Amino acid sequence: MELNKLITKKGLLFLLIFSILVFVGDRINFSRLIGAENQFFTLFQFFGPIAGSFLGPVVGVLSVLIAEVSSYLVLGKAFTLIGVLRLLPMLFAAWYFGTKRDKISIIVPIIAIAAFIAHPVGRQVWYFSLFWTIPIIVKFLPAKYSENAWLKSLGATLTAHSVGGAMWNYIVPMTPAAWIALIPIVIFERVLFASGIAGSYIAMNTLLDRLSEKTKLEYLSIDKRYVLFRHHG
C-alpha cells in the first residue's frame, strides 16, 4: 500500500482506533522483563502486529511506530536506551504479519539467531535461539498454513522475540542459567501472545467489516475469512 493512502479518512480511522488500543494496552502490564527494572510486557503484545495486515507492511510499520511513540509521549516515559530499543521488535512483527513470503521477514530471525550465537553467553545456550526458527518455518509452509491467523501470529510474536532477545543479550547482562530458565516462560508467553494477536485480528476484521457497511474502507485490507457473524445475501 502506498504511503499516501494512510493520509485518508479511512487510513486515519484505522490509525486512530489502533493508537487508542496501543495507549490503553501500554498502560496494562502483563509480565516483567527479566534482567531490567521497570520494564514490562504489556497488553500491546497481544495485538501490536496486526496493523501490518490491514494497511500493508510499510504503512503498517509506520502506524505502529506512530502509535508507539505517541503512547510513549503521552505516558511520559523517559527515552532511555532500553526503552527506545524496545520500540523496534514490534515494527518487525508488524512487517512479518503484513507480508507473505518476503526476504525481510525471513532474514530478520536469521540475523537474530546469528547475533545471539555470536555472543559469548548466547553461544553457551545456542538452542534458545531455536525459537526463532519458527517464523522462518511458518513462511515456508503451504499457504493454507502460513496464512492461518494463529500460525502467522505465532511467527509475528516470535519475530518480535528474536529481535528483542538478540538485543537483550548485548545490552542486559544475563547468565546462561537465566536464559535456560526463560525457556518455559517463553513458551507460555508466546503461545498466549499468538492467541491474543489472532483474536485481535479477528476482532478488528469484524469491526472494520461492520464499519465498511456504512462507509467504504477501500484502503484497508479486510480478510473476510476472519469476520465473525458475516451477513450473507
Q: What is the pLDDT of residues 61-118, one digit of tens each?
A: 887 888 778 777 776 766 666 767 777 898 999 999 988 877 888 999 999 999 999 9
Total domains in the fold of the chain: 1
Nearest to 166 by CA among 214, 107, 208, 115: 115
Is position 231 within any domain?
A: no
Say yes or no to pLDDT of 182 above 90.
yes
Is position 233 within any domain?
A: no
Three-state DSSP at 119 gives coil
pTM over 0.95? The answer is no
Say yes or no to pLDDT of 213 above 70.
no
Is position 199 within any domain?
A: yes
pLDDT digit string, tens, across residues 188-211: 999 999 999 999 899 888 887 777
Calpha distance 49→174 (Å, rounded): 27
User: For residue 233, what pLDDT band results from cuts at 50, 70 and 90?
Assistant: very low
97 lies in which domain range? 3-226
Is position 79 within any domain?
A: yes
Mean of pLDDT over the chain: 82
